[in-house]
């Protein structure tokens, strides 16, 4: 079978074809993704919603090249990711993807700016780490260690780290989950601006359905399956969203 | 500095306690390696230089008396490069303010300075002059001890006459690098010296015109292997040639006393330089493995994130490896510095035992480089497992919390009756010990190594004591031994009995000769004793007295093994002196001894064997120990010119005590320190790792009402189980190690007894427990300092 997918539409950045993912937890097998097929279009803000255990994070990890599917195929710009070597996957994560983790995943003994530098040091054309922190409103906390930052601040460092390398694809796992209402909205605004300004493709997973209002498209997940794919004709500006 | 390196530096700083433990273990290993290796190099190099400088002979042949013309013939035997005949006698020395007996070996040297075999290295003054006949060069150590200098006069009893000699110089010589008096095992330069006389003077004073009683020679060949080819053949040839003149002993270089001690020391260093570091570095690698596994485990999330951000496996791997490498570099450098210092100290000690012209501590670049490389290699090996385990995970899996460890029942739980009697605390302890099997195994291994090192150290100390007791208190029981220049009759014994302070006197007859059994032969001698002698008592392995047979020999096991003879069989003995008639002699008893290859016989039987009625060559005395009495005896003995040697057993033991046993104490001190580092380091590391791993579990216990001391008690119980198991396992290992070392050191001249006892094992156990408790103090402090609320909230 050809590694190229010729019939992919022009604006598709990433395609999932009948993707399965099974985890073995001790003696139990868990099917976290079940025959998921989905196109992620360039420069869209895609929100995936679903209750916990619905397979949101699993899909995000597969898309980000952090995990490999048990069955099915993934394509990035028409190139089959599932055929990539570890080195190619590493290169993909390094050059094309930015991650915002649910639990921030900051390196505890590095300061905020150093945590951003962890990403920029690898990147070919990164932002200045301090600029990235300024964008998330944390310039004055640059020299604080994670333990000295609040949850919201840590999340913003995590976002700064993700955007600092100017990725094509930004993957956010519950980016507002640990934040208060106002900070959450600011973070959302940041993401929308990023999409508007740089054309970054953004995938956000959340169980906060209100956020879906700002999305171009919304994917509903349950038990590892897509139950509904919704197109948002008029996305709301983040300021108008209430939760 | 790159960000990851910054992270590394902070991590190193944060875990300094655990790192210190590992760094010390590595440092001890490398220090041992460098110290022993350097000492080996120092001794080996000095020995080679010294041997070359003095033209060290390859063989020595002791004769009764042979004309120079006959000896010259030996020079043309194929395989012989050079020979030198010389005159060698034992003598006594009298110094005006010394009452104790002083013994001398007198050797002839050419009247004029010329390059000769077994040359001397002058330290003070000069060589003989033409001004006097009776000039003497004294060995340097004896001169130093008695403040003798060129220009002084000294009295020696030579050939039954008291001679006055003029000191022209002091010197050292390679054949006496380790200078032992008769019967001694440590140098005693205060009571024994070597004196070099002009050849013409020696010929005159000993009635040896145109004759000599010793030949020394060098073999042809540029290296040891070539010379070894000639050795046996040349010595056989020489013996045939000189047979008519009474060959008392032929000694190849390998059996020459000074060379043998030196070679043994050098070989011992080589063994230690390989073995000791291996133990410590293996322990360090294991302990590092435990720590790095924990560290990598703890950083699963970080590893996952780094990979998610696009760091390659290689980059993450190198980052973690740097952690181990840094430990290796710090440990290696510390070890090299400590090792160099130790080598210097060891060389200082060697200067006390060995007389070298130039024994200094060299800096061996290659050795330090190797030490550093080994320590880094061991650190890297120790880091590999833990690092690899995390790298194998996909980034997403690495970021997920580690699945709970399998919590099945441990074996002990199947013993229902025992398990139900254990408190919940003990159950936690047992389960934790069993389930973290790698950590437990590393701890047990470390404790076993520490314990083995302690056991073998203590056994060596015990062996030294035992050897001294066995040899100088149980076998040799006389206080003073007198050696006559010539064999005497029973009158000499009566004379000795009449000396002041003498409680008892027993005769001794020493007859040198050759034993033959089948195709085997061995030079040696027989010591004749009175039946039921009390001042020399041959012993068996259990230190029980061995009966001296009325007819036949009580032979040392070592010689019996060499000759392959069993009790009841006979050997042929040909005396080196007298009629030299070969006789068949039955071996009746086997005696044990840790030194030499003694053979005992009834003195009457031995006298007849060498064709005499009743001959004695020496007398052993039991003496009233009061100093006044002993002094009176010594004063009287000084007036007896017929004595070739006067040996005090007390002086001998005192000297051994002073040197060997004191140095043994230093040696044991170091071993205890090193073993302590191993126990302490491994326990501290294991406990701190365990503490970090189980923060949440222990925090829960705190919430349930456990106090810090109770938590500490759980940790302590785990440590004690590990220490106890390891220490017990290490004990037979230590015993085995001692046996192997005794075998490695075994020679005809010297055997190391393997002695252990409850005190050895008890001391090891107590020390193991003490080190464990010391390490636990740090662990307990850490428990008190932990913020448990935070630990409870932290997510793994």
Q: Quick: pLDDT tens for B313-368.
A: 888 888 888 888 898 899 999 999 999 999 999 898 888 888 898 888 899 999 99
**C-alpha separations of B720 from B229, B443, B770 in Å:** 58, 10, 10
Report the share of chain B in percent with pLDDT over 90.
Answer: 44
**CA angle at B588 for the pair B584 and B589, rounded to the nearest 5°:** 135
So what's the pLDDT on residue B475? 92
The span from the CA of A152 to the CA of A175, in Å, is: 9
Residue B796 has pLDDT above 50, yes or no: no
Query: In this model, does residue B495 exceed pLDDT 60?
Result: yes
> Pairing relation of β-strands B161-173 and B153-158?
antiparallel
**Smallest Cβ distance to B310: which of A61, A94, A117?**
A94
Contact A121 B2 (CB under 8 A): yes
Residue of A68, A105, A107 lying closest to B394 (CB–CB) = A68
Q: Does B397 touch chain A (CB under 8 A)?
A: yes
* CA quadruple B619, B625, B631, B633: dihedral, nearest 10: -30
Q: In what order do the strands lie in the sheet with B211-219?
A: B80-86, B211-219, B59-67, B247-252
CB distance A101 to A173 below 8 Å: yes
Q: Do B394 and A94 touch (CB under 8 A)?
A: no
Rounded to a whole number of angstroms, the distance from the CA of B348 to the nearest CA of chain A is 48
Question: Do residue A90 and residue B307 have CB atoms under 8 angstroms apart?
Answer: yes
Tokens of B363: 């800096």
Nearest to B403 among A26, A86, A109 (CB): A26
ipTM score for this prediction: 0.82
Q: Name residue, tokens 């145109």.
A: B210
Q: How far is CA B35 from the centre of its chain?
A: 15
Q: Do B394 and A93 touch (CB under 8 A)?
A: no
**In chain A, what residues touch B403 (CB-CB under 8 Å)?**
25-26
pLDDT at B176 > cutoff 60: yes
Alpha helices, H only, B513-648:
557-563, 603-609, 627-638
Name the least confident of A5-14, A117-126, B45-54, B551-560. Answer: A5-14
pLDDT reported for residue B763: 95
Residue of B6, B305, B402 to mutate, testing the A interface (most A Cβ within 10 Å of its Cβ): B305
Nearest CB among B11, B308, B795 relative to A93 is that of B308
Higher-pLDDT residue of B313 and B418 is B313
Q: Does B73 touch chain A (CB under 8 A)?
A: no
With contact defined as beta carbons under 8 Å apart, do A84 and A129 qualify?
no
Q: Check if B7 contacts A (Cβ < 8 Å).
A: yes
pLDDT band at B792 (very low <50, low <70, confident <90, very high): low
Q: Residue B307: is it exposed, middle or buried by C-beta count within 10 angstroms (0-12/13-18/19+)?
A: buried
CB contact under 8 A, A67 and B399: no
Name the H helices within A71-150: 86-95, 112-120, 129-135
Q: Which residues of A touch B308 (CB under 8 A)?
A: 64, 66, 93, 99, 101, 105
Extract the residue ranges of chain A whose pLDDT is less than 70: 1-10
pLDDT digits 0-9 by tens, B577-635: 777 788 999 999 999 888 888 999 999 999 998 888 889 999 999 999 898 998 899 88
Touching check for B569 and chain A: CB below 8 Å? no
Contact B620, B492 (CB under 8 A): no
CB contact under 8 A, A90 and B302: no
- State whether B7 and A105 contact (CB < 8 Å): no
* Interchain CB distance below 8 Å, B308 and A118: no
Interface mutation target, options B396, B404, B408, B692, chain A, most CBs of A under 10 Å: B396
Mean per-residue pLDDT over chain B, rounded = 88
Rounded Cα gap, residues B213 and A72, in angstroms = 99
Q: pTM of the prediction? A: 0.80
State whether residue B399 sits within 8 Å of chain A by CB.
yes
For an interface test with B, the pick among A28, A66, A145 (most B C-beta atoms closer than 10 Å) comes out as A66
Q: Considering CB atoms only, which of B4, B308, B795 is closest to A66? A: B308
Taking contacts as CB-CB distances below 8 angstroms, the residues of chain B near A101 are 305, 308, 399
Strands (E), B141-269: 153-158, 161-173, 192-198, 211-219, 247-252
Judging contacts by C-beta atoms under 8 Å, the chain A residues touching residue B3 are 110, 114, 117-118, 121
Q: 3-class SS at B265?
A: helix
Whether chain A has a CB inside 8 Å of the CB on B2: the answer is yes
On chain A, the residues whose CB falls within 8 A of the CB of B14 are 109
Between chains, do A118 and B302 touch, taking CB under 8 Å as contact? no
Burial string for B245-265 (b: 16+ CB within 10 Å, else e) reads bbbbbbbbbebbbbbbbbbbb
Q: Which residue has the higher pLDDT, B385 or A57?
A: A57
Collect all residues of chain B within an 8 Å Cβ-Cβ radius of residue A93: 307-310, 395
Give B449-489 pLDDT, tens digit per residue: 999 999 999 998 899 889 888 988 899 999 999 998 888 88
Output helix, strand, coil percentages for chain A, rounded to the nearest 5: 35, 30, 35
pLDDT confidence band for B402 (50 / 70 / 90) = low
* Chain B residue numbers touching A107 (CB-CB < 8 A): 7, 302, 305
What is the structure's pLDDT at A1?
Answer: 35
Quick check: B301 contacting A, CB < 8 Å? Answer: yes
What are the chain B neighbours of A91 within 8 Å (beta carbons)? Answer: 310
Chain A residues with CB within 8 Å of chain B CB: 25-26, 61, 64, 66-68, 86-87, 90-91, 93-95, 97, 99, 101, 103, 105, 107-110, 114, 117-119, 121-123, 161
**Residues in B touching A32 (Cβ below 8 Å):** none
B75-89, B218-232, B499-513, B598-612: least confident range:
B218-232
Q: Which residues of A touch B7 (CB under 8 A)?
A: 107, 109-110, 114
Q: Is B12 on the interface with A (CB under 8 A)?
A: no
Q: Do B306 and A117 make contact, defined as CB atoms within 8 angstroms? A: no
User: Which residues neighbour B105 within 8 Å (Cβ) at sequence distance 6 or greater?
Assistant: B88, B89, B90, B91, B192, B193, B194, B195
CA B212/CA B206 separation, integer angstroms: 10
CA dihedral B56, B57, B63, B68 (to 10 degrees): -100
B-chain residues near A117 (CB < 8 A): 3
Cα separations in angstroms, B242 against A7, B74, B564, B583: 108, 9, 27, 20
Chain B: closest CA distance from residue A90 (Å): 5
Biggest CA–CA distance in chain B, Å, is 103
DSSP code string of A59-83: HHHHHTTSS--SEEEEEETTEEGGG
Answer yes or no: are the C-beta atoms of B102 and B191 closer than 8 Å.
Answer: yes
pLDDT of residue B766: 96
């Amino acid at each position: 079978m050809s590694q190229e997918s010729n019939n992919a539409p022009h604006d598709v950045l990433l395609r999932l074809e009948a993707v399965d993912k099974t985890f073995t937890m001790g003696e139990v097998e868990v099917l976290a993704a079940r025959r998921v097929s989905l196109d992620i279009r360039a420069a869209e803000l895609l929100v995936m919603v679903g209750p916990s255990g619905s397979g949101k994070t699993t899909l995000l990890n597969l898309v980000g090249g952090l995990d490999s599917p048990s069955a099915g195929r993934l394509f990035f710009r028409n190139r089959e990711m599932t055929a990539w070597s570890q080195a190619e996957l590493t290169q993909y994560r390094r050059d094309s993807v930015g991650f915002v983790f649910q639990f921030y995943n900051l390196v505890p003994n590095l300061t905020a700016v150093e945590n951003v530098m962890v990403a920029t040091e690898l990147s070919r054309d990164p932002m200045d780490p301090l600029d990235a922190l300024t964008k998330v409103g944390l310039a004055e906390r640059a020299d604080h260690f994670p333990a000295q930052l609040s949850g919201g601040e840590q999340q913003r460092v995590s976002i700064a780290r993700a955007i600092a390398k100017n990725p094509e694809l930004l993957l956010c796992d519950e980016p507002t989950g640990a934040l208060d209402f106002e900070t959450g909205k600011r973070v959302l605004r940041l993401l929308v601006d990023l999409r508007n300004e740089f054309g970054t493709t953004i995938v956000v997973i959340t169980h906060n359905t209100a956020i879906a209002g700002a999305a171009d498209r919304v994917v509903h997940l349950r038990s590892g399956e897509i139950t509904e794919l919704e197109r948002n004709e008029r996305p709301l500006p983040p300021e108008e969203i209430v939760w | 500095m790159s960000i990851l390196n910054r992270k590394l530096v902070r991590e190193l700083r944060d875990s300094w306690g655990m790192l210190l433990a590992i760094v010390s273990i590595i440092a001890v290993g490398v220090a041992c390696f460098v110290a022993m290796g350097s000492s080996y190099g120092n001794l080996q190099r000095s020995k080679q230089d010294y041997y070359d400088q003095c033209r060290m002979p390859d063989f020595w042949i002791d004769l009764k008396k042979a004309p120079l013309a006959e000896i010259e013939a030996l020079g043309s035997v194929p395989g012989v490069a050079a020979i030198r005949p010389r005159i060698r006698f034992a003598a006594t020395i009298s110094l005006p303010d010394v009452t104790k007996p002083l013994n001398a070996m007198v050797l002839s040297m050419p009247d004029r300075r010329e390059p000769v075999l077994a040359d001397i290295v002058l330290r003070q003054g000069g060589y003989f002059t033409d001004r006097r006949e009776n000039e003497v060069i004294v060995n340097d150590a004896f001169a130093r001890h008695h403040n003798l200098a060129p220009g002084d006069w000294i009295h020696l009893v030579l050939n039954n006459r008291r001679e006055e000699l003029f000191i022209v110089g002091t010197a050292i010589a390679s054949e006496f690098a380790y200078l032992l008096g008769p019967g001694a095992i440590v140098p005693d330069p205060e009571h024994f010296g070597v004196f070099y006389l002009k050849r013409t003077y020696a010929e005159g004073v000993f009635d040896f015109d145109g004759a000599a009683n010793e030949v020394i020679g060098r073999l042809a060949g540029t290296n040891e292997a070539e010379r070894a080819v000639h050795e046996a053949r040349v010595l056989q040839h020489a013996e045939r040639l000189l047979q008519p003149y009474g060959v008392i002993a032929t000694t190849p270089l390998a059996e020459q006393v000074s060379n043998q001690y030196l070679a043994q020391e050098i070989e011992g260093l080589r063994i230690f330089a390989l073995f000791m570091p291996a133990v410590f570095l293996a322990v360090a690698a294991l302990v590092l493995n435990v720590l790095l596994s924990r560290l990598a485990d703890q950083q699963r999330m970080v590893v996952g994130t780094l990979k998610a951000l696009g760091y390659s496996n290689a980059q993450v791997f190198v980052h973690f490896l740097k952690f181990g490498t840094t430990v290796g570099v710090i440990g290696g450098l510390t070890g090299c510095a400590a090792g160099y210092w130790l080598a210097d100290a060891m060389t200082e000690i060697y200067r006390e035992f060995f007389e070298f012209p130039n024994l200094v501590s060299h800096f061996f670049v290659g050795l330090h480089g190797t030490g550093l490389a080994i320590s880094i290699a061991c650190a890297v090996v120790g880091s590999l497992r833990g690092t690899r385990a995390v790298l194998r995970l996909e980034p997403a899996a690495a970021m997920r919390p580690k699945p709970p460890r399998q919590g099945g029942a441990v074996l002990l739980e199947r013993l229902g009756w025992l398990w139900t009697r254990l408190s919940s605390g003990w159950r936690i302890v047992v389960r934790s010990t069993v389930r973290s099997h790698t950590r437990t195994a590393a701890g047990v291994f470390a404790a076993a190594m520490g314990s083995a090192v302690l056991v073998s150290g203590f056994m060596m100390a015990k062996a030294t004591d035992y050897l001294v007791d066995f040899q100088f208190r149980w076998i040799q029981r006389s206080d003073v031994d007198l050696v006559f220049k010539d064999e005497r009759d029973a009158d000499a014994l009566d004379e000795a009995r009449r000396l002041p302070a003498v409680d008892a006197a027993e005769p001794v007859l020493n007859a040198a000769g050759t034993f033959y059994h089948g195709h085997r032969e061995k030079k040696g001698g027989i010591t004749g004793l009175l039946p039921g002698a009390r001042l020399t008592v041959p012993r068996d392995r259990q230190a029980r007295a061995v009966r001296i047979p009325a007819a036949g020999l009580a032979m040392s096991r070592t010689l019996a093994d060499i000759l392959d003879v069993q009790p009841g069989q006979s050997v042929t003995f040909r005396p080196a002196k007298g009629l030299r008639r070969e006789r068949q002699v039955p071996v009746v008893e086997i005696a044990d001894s840790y030194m030499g290859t003694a053979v005992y016989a009834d003195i009457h039987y031995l006298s007849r064997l060498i064709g005499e009625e009743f001959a004695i060559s020496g007398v052993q005395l039991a003496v009233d120990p009061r100093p006044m009495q002993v002094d009176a005896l010594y004063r009287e003995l000084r007036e007896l010119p017929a004595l070739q040697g006067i040996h005090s057993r007390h002086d001998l033991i005192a000297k051994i005590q002073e040197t060997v046993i004191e140095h043994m104490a230093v040696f044991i001190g170091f071993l205890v320190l090193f073993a302590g580092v191993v126990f302490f380091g491994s326990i501290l590391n294991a406990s701190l790792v365990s503490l970090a791993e189980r923060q949440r579990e222990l925090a829960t216990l705190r919430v349930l009402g456990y106090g810090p001391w109770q938590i500490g008690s759980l940790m302590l119980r785990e440590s004690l189980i590990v220490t106890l198991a390891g220490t017990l396992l290490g004990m037979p290992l230590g015993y085995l190690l001692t046996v192997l070392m005794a075998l490695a050191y075994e020679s005809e001249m010297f055997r190391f007894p393997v002695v252990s006892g409850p005190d050895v094992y008890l001391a090891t156990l107590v020390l193991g427990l003490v080190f464990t408790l010391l390490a636990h103090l740090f662990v307990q402090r850490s428990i008190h300092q932990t913020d448990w609320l935070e630990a409870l909230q932290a997510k793994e």
